[in-house]
Structure 1
Amino acid sequence: MSTSSQGARHLNRLAKAKSPYLLQHAENPVDWYEWGQEAFDKAKRENKPIFLSVGYSACHWCHVLAHESFEDEVTAKIMNEHYVNIKVDREERPDVDRLYMTFLQATTGGGGWPMSVWLTPDLHPFFAGTYFPPGQFRQILLKLAEVWETDSQRCIHSGKQVIEAIKESSNITPEHDVEIKPLASEVFQRLEKRFDSVHGGFGRAPKFPSPAQTTHFLARYAALHLTNSNASEEEEKNARSARDMAVYHMSKIFNGGIHDFVGGGFSRYSVDERWHVPHFEKMLYDEAQLLTSALELYQLLPETSSEKKTLELMAKDIVTYVARDLRSIEGGFYSAEDADSLPSNDSTVKKEGAFYVWTANEIGSILGTDADLFKYHFGVEPDGNCDPSHDIQGELKGQNVLYVAHSLEETAKKFGKSADEVEQILEASLKTLRDYRDKHRPRPHLDDKILTCWNGLMISGLSRAYEVLQADREIASEALGLAEASAKFIRANLYNEQSGELRRSYREGQGPTGQADDYAFFIQGLLDLYEASTKEEYLIWAIRLQEKQDELFYDAKDGGYFASAPDEHILIRMKDAQDGAEPSAVSVTLSNLQRLAHFAEDKHADYTEKARSVLASNGQLLSRAPYALASMVSAALLEDKGYMQFIHTGTSPESALLKLIRSAFIPNRVLIHLDPRNPPRELAKINGSLRSLVEDLDKGGAKIKENVRICENFTCGLPIEDVEELKKKLPLVPDA
């Protein structure tokens, strides 16, 4: 019998942890340890293997494994008797997760969470899997304990062999002179081949939004070719196809059940091909990347496109959701909301999606006379609209996941109303349901851990929202305020002014040391925030952080960047360049280096050398599987095209010239601000072009009129003072 149904339970060591995921296991009868010396010493002292369990707080199947096995007294007794048991939050320790996930994928051909790995006391892995049903899990525990007792050398030898094999595969000879354009074409062709032209997405179910692997690349590929007057007919055709695939993909996500129409935000993925039935956890990194992609694609569409409004609504939806539900009072953004929750205030058993789903009767009683229209539009069925084959545990029986089953026009025709009337009714109905839900249903568990890396991604998205959504001044200003507040929180709580180092997480104090993605994503966020806010301090901070990232993670011997900080207990420092749910840290670093080479142009040679080493150190993988490194191909494609440096001289952060620059999606843009009243003197010290302009100002010459200089290959054109003249110089997407 699971202890979840028993009375008071004891607390294990995880009760002292900071991670919400670890705290979820603090009452397990398992004698858990955190990853650290105490556990390693015990394993060596008692000559016991280690059972390593890795997951995260919003992971549904992590909860299932916990309820079935870790809360079970019999299973816990086996674990405690034969193993030293370590629980790891993958979001706090991606270095631990990365190493053993590599082993899991290499030995089983798959991966995922929860991840279960058996290690020798020296931390060498010898067996691994993901979720195991309770009976099978006990059998594996007992069998591996028996193998260890009778032939531990077999496990030790196997573990050492595996680690040596992973080390060997990590020692890749650099490959210089990688040609990017053919690789970009290969990535595009693969995405085009895998594209689901009916339901959107790339590949079969389950379907993940995966912006880093799809829309991020497609938007850049499209922008660079659509604005190239020398593009061939085929290149222009492919560019439009890239844009249209990405837009269709995003519109299907927005209109599918993966979108929380009632409260905003998007779930992590859909278990079916239609984006209808999600796993309901909401992750900050998804919200951030979807926000950025929606805005970029919005800018790529002509004004006449009907999808433009969808992308605008998507962006505003995300800004509203994260501001309301994922933001701390101090300004940092929380990590996630859980998939599981209690169906009502008097419930005792959590169910997946309970906070989000509705019965037809509930909709009818809450919405009254508007219920039929609402049900028609959002696909509500009397017996529920979830296919049982997509509901393995039967938790969604009789329930409805809202999705757009009929367009506004179809609904209007059905009920004899105008589209505007239908839109107003739906908006009012969704607010009514939100008020009901907030009052009568407990919210899912909030992972209130604040991660530097994911806050960096969100700062980027919010900074872009400020630039793109200028027509809605209220939400644009809110977005910029949210971005600045997040940066302020990181500076106050996760940054050491003396050493220049970042910490990874904050919850009741600082968490572990920062990893490469913390630096990469946050530097990117600061660069985007500088361009949006015009405040020099963000750019200077980004430059200092890049220096620290170089010091901690750059491989001076073989080039490229390590993904993790030095740690004696991490057996291999890996250089993981493949994109996943998030872009790879090294790909974002490549983009950052390329941009910094134009922001701090006096350091161009150093930044460029490191950027080239990133491509060289990943040259073999790029050549074999460029689609696995789509973010890196995107970044390299921009460098191949060449960056455009815009130097705006003026006093207004919202001038007509700036608005014009910001209205276009120019992925190879670097925007520098020069306010004559308060010149950016720190930046001028490391930017020759800017330095000469500041020196001219200091000489007290004629009053400067607002202008924009466009510099390419470190050669600047004459100042442009007229909006129409500037428009002629911009790489604008044809309005057709």
Structure 2
Amino acid sequence: MSTHSGDGPHLNRLAQAKSPYLLQHAENPVDWYEWGADAFNKAKHENKPIFLSIGYSACHWCHVLAHESFEDPVTAKLMNEYYVNIKVDREERPDVDRLYMMFLQATSGGGGWPMSVWLTPDLHPFFAGTYFPPGQFRQILSKLADVWESSSDRCITSGKQIIEALRLASQMAPDTSALSIAPLATSVFDRLKQRFDMVHGGFGSAPKFPSPAQTMHFLARYAATHAGEPVGEVARDMAVRTMACIYNGGIRDVVGDGFARYSVDERWHVPHFEKMLYDQAQLLSSALELAQLVPPDAPERATLQRMAASIITYVARDLTSPAGGFFSAEDADSLPSHESTVKKEGAFYVWTADDIDRILGGDAPLFKFHFGVEDGGNCDPSHDAQGELKGQNVLYTAHTVEETAKQFASRAEDVERVLDTSLAMLKAHRDKERPRPHLDDKILACWNGLMISGLSRAADVLDKSFGLSTKALELAEGSAAFLRANLYDEQSGELRRSFREGPGPKGQADDYAFLIQGLLDLYEASGKEEYAVWALRLQEKQDELFFDTEGGGYFVSAPDEHILVRMKDAQDGAEPSAVAVTLANLQRLAHITEDRYTEYEEKVQSVLAVNAQLLREAPFALATMVSAALAAHDGYKQFIFVGSAEPSHVSPLLQAIRRPFISNRVLIHLDPANPPRELAKVNATLRTLVADIDKKGGQVSENVRVCQNFACGLPIEDVEKLKHVLA
């Protein structure tokens, strides 16, 4: 146990933490506490303000702040003397992060991590910022300590007023007047079209984030809704162009697969190098959805499928735990060599021209031309704030295979062979000579849910030529099994949020929403009833814990006396809004468990009513919700497939259903050899079909029924007829 000393590094309370981010600060001279009653009681007893620091383990600027300030004895002495210091992993406690991030954004107009917030002992915020240089940080610590000493009442009054304002802002009165969904979707599309970068892809200027929830996810659904129309082609092409630019840019780990979090420049070249599971998951889903929307012979389709294959390869190799769950992230910073003592951002990923010449020998000129390697490095100094990339090259596709072949008077297939061999040599060198970046090995229910969705879609649609569709399904089922065994209470139905050396905090709304979505996708991909039944039970528990029976809509944070405002924030961020994903889940479950349609539809309308004002004023901020509402507006289609669910069975009928991207699809499996009797209890149509199959002793021909608004057509046994219905 540490004392209020600033004399040097020592183990503080965080040495007992499970979070990798908190453990990174266990030897700081700062007297850190975890978020909890011990810290709050100390602040009240000693009448000290709280310094709250929020970040995550793969965050580059979090490391910079730690090295410059939290490891500095002088700064630590200030912190220990005048504050109770609390460290929070935003990935473990998104409820804490969300509340104070809203305060930061409201008071400064911006946000981000590391987040630094000063609180009263009653947890009311009165000042906040992000990264502060060391001198400025010490000045702020001293100034705010003086302010607290001389006029703490003013801080307390201000903090209470701010929290009350946030509380009022979060309590939007339901608006039950009819929402016109099509114009809202058009408004989102028009904004994206206006912000689209026709040269480099993406939306807006640097820095550029993939932001699939706000962009590709919506554009794929808008394109599907307007299939065959010029506006639908524009939506699809913007998304496809963006994904191709991301794939060909330096944001992709060309040597080892996977994608970095974002690019600091406008052309996707120089990334912040951390790799987050949620980015891999969302990019995987978007790549596959868009691949379904482009013509089969289009070169963009191959690029999108290669993108999907790269993500699956990376996640399977580097982010999958031996027990099946997916780890959270890999760090941006690492040691340049095994002899190095100082970590640098991107050290694991960048190359000098001399590195390439030495490792590749005679093939180096071709490789350097293709991947944009320059003798003095290819990173613009204006995109290298700390000068760590001087003389280094971030590999990206500077020239196509055809351009490279022409430059070197070679054949395209020979160029591809040289590039593949060269990349394998660089990877072998990197793996042997460079220490890997820090791995955040906690397993989050929410991000695993997103990854299960992406892998399930891969199992559905990825070309067999890539050889990864079976692997994708195995990975998805392995994650689901891990979560059920380690983060789910079979008796209570409750989820825990994270796992590392045991279960972590209680689940938040995104844990339930993203896992339910993942399980529904896994059910459609595998045909296994157990996943749909588990999703149904999780939705019941989410409704119990998070649905506001008085004001309507869903809270996004779990009940907690120390979270001063329970919000219903439905805006998308780096991840889709939990409320919007819940809306889509409710709509899908209403068509899988049709007996409960009215119950689920009432909750759907409640969500829309609570968010109606914001939907009308700023639909772009709620793009995922607009997508979900658009699918319902078009009317869900149920496809009841009667046939074997065995993985080895390849059904042309099932392939025909899966080939196109149908955003309002619900696929229900009925295996005559093992009928879905649990789902039949809550689905009148299934009950009838199962009873009929039982009468026939399970001897029925493979067929598909297409239903809309619970009115089903006759069974279709002919593939061409089914394709005609789907057209």
For Structure 1 versus Structure 2, the TM-score category normalised by the shorter chain is over 0.9
Asked if the contact 2:528/2:645 (under 8 Å) is kept, the reply is no
Aligned to 2:408: 415
Q: How does 1:283-682 map to 2 (within 5 A)?
A: 283-472=276-465, 474-653=467-646, 654-682=650-678
Q: What CA distance in whole angstroms lies between the structure 2 residues aligned with 1:168 and 1:500?
A: 32
Q: What CA distance in whole angstroms lies between the structure 1 residues aligned with 2:411 and 2:291?
A: 26
Q: What CA distance in whole angstroms lies between the structure 1 residues aligned with 2:368 and 2:575?
A: 35
Q: How does 1:88-103 map to 2 (within 5 A)?
A: 88-103=88-103
Aligned to 2:201: 200
- Shift of the 7–432 alpha-carbon distance from structure 1 to 2, 3 Å rule, reads farther
Aligned to 2:701: 705
Q: How does 1:56-67 map to 2 (within 5 A)?
A: 56-67=56-67
Moved more, 17-26 or 690-699: 690-699
CA apart distance, 1:472: 3.0
The list of structure 1 runs, each at least 4 consecutive aligned residues, that deviate by more than 6 angstroms after superposition, is none
Query: TM-score if structure 1 supplies the norm length?
Result: 0.97
Q: How does 1:116-265 map to 2 (within 5 A)?
A: 116-176=116-176, 177-226=178-227, 236-265=229-258
Aligned to 1:233: none
CA apart distance, 1:516: 0.1
CA apart distance, 1:380: 0.1
CA apart distance, 1:420: 1.2
Question: Which amino acid in 1 is paired with 2:33?
Answer: Y
- Shift of the 701–17 alpha-carbon distance from structure 1 to 2, 3 Å rule, reads closer
CA apart distance, 1:703: 2.8
CA apart distance, 1:305: 1.3
Q: What CA distance in whole angstroms lies between the structure 2 residues aligned with 1:468 and 1:651?
A: 18
Question: Which amino acid in 2 is paired with 1:60?
Answer: H
CA apart distance, 1:698: 1.6
Aligned to 1:84: 84
Q: How many residues align?
A: 718
Moved more, 324-333 or 298-307: 298-307
Q: What CA distance in whole angstroms lies between the structure 2 residues aligned with 1:323 and 1:565?
A: 31
Q: What CA distance in whole angstroms lies between the structure 2 residues aligned with 1:698 and 1:249?
A: 51
Describe the SS at the equivalent of 2:422: helix
Aligned to 1:32: 32
State the superposition RMSD in angstroms: 1.1
Aligned to 1:689: 685
Question: Which amino acid in 2 is paired with 1:38?
Answer: D
CA apart distance, 1:358: 0.1
Aligned to 2:55: 55
Describe the SS at the equivalent of 2:374: coil
Q: What CA distance in whole angstroms lies between the structure 2 residues aligned with 1:7 and 1:384?
A: 41
Describe the SS at the equivalent of 1:523: helix
Task: Show CA shifts across 1:40-66 (max 9, x none).
Answer: 000000000000000000000000000
Asked if the contact 2:527/2:645 (under 8 Å) is kept, the reply is no
Q: What CA distance in whole angstroms lies between the structure 2 residues aligned with 1:378 and 1:474?
A: 26
Asked if the contact 2:15/2:23 (under 8 Å) is kept, the reply is yes
- Shift of the 8–173 alpha-carbon distance from structure 1 to 2, 3 Å rule, reads closer
Q: What CA distance in whole angstroms lies between the structure 1 residues aligned with 2:438 and 2:8?
A: 21
Q: What CA distance in whole angstroms lies between the structure 2 residues aligned with 1:262 and 1:82?
A: 48
- Shift of the 103–226 alpha-carbon distance from structure 1 to 2, 3 Å rule, reads same
Describe the SS at the equivalent of 1:121: coil
CA apart distance, 1:473: 7.0
Aligned to 2:3: none
Moved more, 545-554 or 165-174: 165-174
CA apart distance, 1:664: 1.0
Describe the SS at the equivalent of 1:102: helix
- Shift of the 680–124 alpha-carbon distance from structure 1 to 2, 3 Å rule, reads same
Question: Which amino acid in 1 is paired with 2:668?
Answer: I
- Shift of the 716–246 alpha-carbon distance from structure 1 to 2, 3 Å rule, reads same
Asked if the contact 2:7/2:73 (under 8 Å) is kept, the reply is no
Q: What CA distance in whole angstroms lies between the structure 1 residues aligned with 2:373 and 2:666?
A: 48
CA apart distance, 1:353: 0.1
In structure 2, the gaps of 5 or more residues are 1-5
CA apart distance, 1:491: 0.3
CA apart distance, 1:652: 4.9
Asked if the contact 2:117/2:125 (under 8 Å) is kept, the reply is yes
Q: What CA distance in whole angstroms lies between the structure 2 residues aligned with 1:687 and 1:470?
A: 33
CA apart distance, 1:418: 1.1
Q: What CA distance in whole angstroms lies between the structure 2 residues aligned with 1:20 and 1:703?
A: 55
Question: Which amino acid in 2 is paired with 1:688?
Answer: A
Describe the SS at the equivalent of 1:126: strand
CA apart distance, 1:559: 1.0
Q: What CA distance in whole angstroms lies between the structure 1 residues aligned with 2:72 and 2:245?
A: 41
CA apart distance, 1:471: 2.2
Query: TM-score if structure 2 supplies the norm length?
Result: 0.98
Describe the SS at the equivalent of 1:85: strand
Question: Which amino acid in 2 is paired with 1:595?
Answer: R
Q: What CA distance in whole angstroms lies between the structure 1 residues aligned with 2:297 and 2:315?
A: 30
Q: What CA distance in whole angstroms lies between the structure 2 residues aligned with 1:171 and 1:515?
A: 19
Aligned to 1:231: none
Q: What CA distance in whole angstroms lies between the structure 2 residues aligned with 1:347 and 1:564?
A: 42
Question: Which amino acid in 1 is paired with 2:59?
Answer: C
Asked if the contact 2:309/2:466 (under 8 Å) is kept, the reply is no
Question: Which amino acid in 2 is paired with 1:678?
Answer: N
Asked if the contact 2:244/2:303 (under 8 Å) is kept, the reply is yes
CA apart distance, 1:702: 8.2
Aligned to 1:21: 21
Task: Show CA shifts across 1:350-406 (max 9, x none).
Answer: 000000000000000000111000000000000000000000100000000001111
CA apart distance, 1:470: 4.2
Describe the SS at the equivalent of 2:666: strand
Question: Which amino acid in 1 is paired with 2:692?
Answer: D
Describe the SS at the equivalent of 1:262: coil
Q: What CA distance in whole angstroms lies between the structure 1 residues aligned with 2:715 and 2:161?
A: 63
CA apart distance, 1:9: 3.2
- Shift of the 297–702 alpha-carbon distance from structure 1 to 2, 3 Å rule, reads closer
Q: What CA distance in whole angstroms lies between the structure 2 residues aligned with 1:460 and 1:337?
A: 21
Q: What CA distance in whole angstroms lies between the structure 1 residues aligned with 2:435 and 2:266?
A: 29
CA apart distance, 1:26: 0.2
Task: Show CA shifts across 1:78-131 (max 9, x none).
Answer: 000000000000000000000000000000000000000000000000000000
Task: Show CA shifts across 1:402-453 (max 9, x none).
Answer: 0111111100000011111111111111111001000000000000010000
Q: Which of residues 260, 265, 288 is equivalent to 1:267?
A: 260
Q: What CA distance in whole angstroms lies between the structure 2 residues aligned with 1:7 and 1:717?
A: 77
CA apart distance, 1:668: 0.5
Question: Which amino acid in 2 is paired with 1:25?
Answer: H
Aligned to 2:75: 75
Identity of aligned residues (%): 73
CA apart distance, 1:469: 1.3
Question: Which amino acid in 1 is paired with 2:683?
Answer: N
Asked if the contact 2:8/2:29 (under 8 Å) is kept, the reply is no
CA apart distance, 1:558: 1.4
